Amino acid sequence: MPINPFVKMTSTVIKHLLGPTACKMYPVEKPVFFANTRGHIAIETNKCILCTLCAKKCPTYAIQVDKPGKAWKIERTKCIMCLACVACCPKKCLTSENQYSAPVTVKVVETFNVEPPAAPKAPETCPGKE
């Protein structure tokens, strides 16, 4: 026997009135990102050796590396989070974070001052020379 449409409608209405909300109450309830979410690129400035490989691999030219000025720059609005830079970094100093970068009204280039790790000192006397 088919269900009376009125009963069907009332049960649907009650289910949705008493059930959980479909949307998140955004400003009160913070969004939870997955571990894999491509949010933004972060750099560990003390590991970077300014090799410029990331800038060369970037398909959108969002990364610039200023070798003499010892600076690593990224334009967040250009970055497409393809993670090509993370994959090619020889020192693994670039990482993908799961939080999105903050929205901006003006396109800015974010600059990070890099302190390259000191090159290992060459031994003063060659061990095999004595």
34 makes contact with other proteins (CB under 8 A)? yes
What's the closest the beta carbon of residue 37 comes to other proteins, in angstroms?
6
Please tell me the chain's helix, strand, coil percentages from 3-state DSSP, rounded to the nearest 5. Answer: 20, 15, 60
Stretch that binds other proteins, among 30-38, 70-78, 110-118, 121-129 (CB under 8 A): 30-38
- The sign of the CA dihedral 86, 92, 97, 101 is negative
37 makes contact with other proteins (CB under 8 A)? yes
Binding mask 44-83 for other proteins (x = CB under 8 A): ---------------x--------------------xxxx
Q: How far apart are the first and last CA of the chain?
A: 102
Of 38 and 70, CB closest to other proteins = 38
Q: Is 60 helix (H, G, I), strand (E, B) or coil?
A: coil
Tell me how far apart the alpha carbons of residues 63 and 89 are, in angstroms, rounded to a whole number.
13
Binding site for other proteins (CB under 8 A): 22, 33-34, 36-38, 59, 80-83, 96
